[in-house]
Structure 1
Amino acid sequence: MEYRVSKKEQYFFHNNLVCVVKALEGVYTTIDLRNDRYVTGKIVRVDGWMNVDMIDAVFCDNRGSYRTFSDFFVKSRSIRYVHIPKEYPAMELIEMHLAGMKRVKPKKKPVTFKRSRAQKYQKETLQSLASAEAQPGTSKDP
């Protein structure tokens, strides 16, 4: 299933450090939670608010007991730290992720009669100003 990204999420990917975690998709890592627990697993998907979907996850609580999950969801507000593996330097992750993101080009507005007429008048005005400056006797110096 293809996940559609909203404009607000795109903004967060480009302007926050969410892109570091997004670049870790497909990598096994550990996420420390705010309640002194942690989850280790493979990151499948990260959205713009840093909600994380993981597979093959192992959850460890603060008493030291482990539970395995085939799918695990971590809500962004419960994340304290995301461990970045040593094989993936943070700056390279950021550059790699931002280089791979698609930038949406703005759509061209259709050329209407009003727009074409305004462009025509603007060109004529600029040409008349350029020709008036080129003629030596037409300057209005005091």
Structure 2
Amino acid sequence: MQKASGKETYLITNTLNCLPFLLDGHSVLIDLRNESSVAGRIDATGTDGFMNIHLIDAVFIDRYGLQYPFEQFMVRPRMIRQIHLPAHLDAESAIRDWLDHGRKPIRKAPQQRKGKMTFKEKRAKQKHIEVLNEISKNQK
């Protein structure tokens, strides 16, 4: 496996680009910008922090409703309009668990850094928690 770049790690940590990694193995429906859709199971090994999503056992549905099966399908971030999350999954709690229990390394680097979190990491984690609290407050 390839090591994640600094920008990729930043995007995964500070944006919702972490969702494809949280949805690894789940079936999702992705609406595309060209009025078509694709449904399939997310494979996190082919997914990256730039929101390129790799689907397995996918079905492409064109704007006329015709379906085309694919063993593998790659969705580029520019084409994504919306990702429909599975009904049984609570995205807020999944992100909270990911933040609280420490995220799993997306791609293992040759050396794992040990020690305290840096100021930037602490600030990013605090910002995530503030956003999640605001979402919870707005839902009530």
TM, length-normalised to structure 2: 0.69
Alignment partner, residue 59 of structure 1: 60
State the match for 2:121 in structure 1.
none
Partner in structure 2 of residue 37 of structure 1: 36
Alignment size in residue pairs: 105
- Structure 2 match to 1:7: 6
Q: Is the 8 A contact 1:20 1:97 kept in 2?
A: no
Structure 1 residue 88 corresponds to structure 2 residue 89? yes
Matches of 1:55 and 1:80, distance apart in 2: 20
| Relative contact order higher in (CA < 8 Å, ≥ 6 apart) | 2
Cα displacement string for residues 20-77 of structure 1 (whole angstroms, at most 9, x for unaligned residues): 2320011111111011100000000221110000110000000111000001000001
Report the Cα distance in structure 2 between the residues aligned to 1:29 and 1:101, rounded to whole angstroms.
22
In 1, Cα distance between equivalents of 2:68 and 2:55: 14
In structure 1, the gaps of 5 or more residues are 107-142
Question: Aligned ranges for residues 90-129 of structure 1 at < 5 Å?
Answer: 90-98=91-99, 99-102=102-105, 104-105=113-114
Equivalents in 1 of 2:79, 2:18: separation in Å?
Answer: 18
Q: Are the structure 2 counterparts of residues 91 and 38 from structure 1 closer, same or farther at C-alpha, using a change threshold of 3 Å?
A: same
Aligned-pair identity (%): 38
Structure 2 alignment gaps of length 5 or more:
106-111, 116-140
Larger Rg: 1
Q: CA-to-partner distance for each residue in 1:63-98, whole Å, 9 max, x for gaps?
A: 111000001000001000011112111112212334
- List, as ranges, runs of 4+ consecutive aligned residues in structure 1 with deviation greater than 4 Å: none
AA paired with 1:95? R
Q: Which amino acid aligns with 2:76?
A: K
Mean alpha-carbon deviation: is it higher for 30-39 or for 97-106? 97-106
